[in-house]
Amino acid sequence: MNTVAQYADHYAYRVQWSEEDGEYVGTVVEFPGLSWLSLTPGETLDGIRRVTGECVEDMLAHGEQPPQPLSDRSYSGRFNVRITPDAHRRLALEAQEEGVSLNHLVAERLAV
């Protein structure tokens, strides 16, 4: 991936209403410091995409590597979670009572 559009088109954008600002706020997950405010959702998305593209362009011009878009990353489907021993015990008991594995129980809960 090496062009501004290839990066900017794949980033994870979010547009939501901000009661505090009285406008929509656009953000991009891969660049937590960037945001864009506007009166309509469409203008907000256009604005945050534009400023993200400018940021990527600047990074590339200075020999920096922009963050890889989350959508382009591969995921194994496995991750470790640290919980308290009491929570572990409680979940294990619940899984046993339901006749499912602990992994199945936790995966079902996370999928909600």
The structural domains of the chain, ordered by start, are 4-72 (3.30.160.250), 75-112 (no CATH)
Per-residue confidence (pLDDT) for residue 97, from 0 to 100: 95
Per-residue confidence (pLDDT) for residue 7, from 0 to 100: 85
Per-residue confidence (pLDDT) for residue 1, from 0 to 100: 62
Q: What is the DSSP string of 15-64?
A: EEEETTTTEEEEEETTEEEEEEEESSHHHHHHHHHHHHHHHHHHHHHTT-
Sheet with 13-18: strands ordered across: 13-18, 23-28, 31-38
Per-residue confidence (pLDDT) for residue 57, from 0 to 100: 95
Residue 14 main-chain phi, psi, to 5 deg: -140, 135
pTM greater than the 0.75 cutoff: no
Tokens representing 71 are: 């959508």
Each residue's pLDDT expressed in tens, for the chain with a length of 112 residues: 668 888 889 999 999 999 999 999 999 999 999 999 999 999 999 999 999 999 999 999 999 999 999 999 998 999 899 999 999 999 999 999 999 999 999 999 999 7
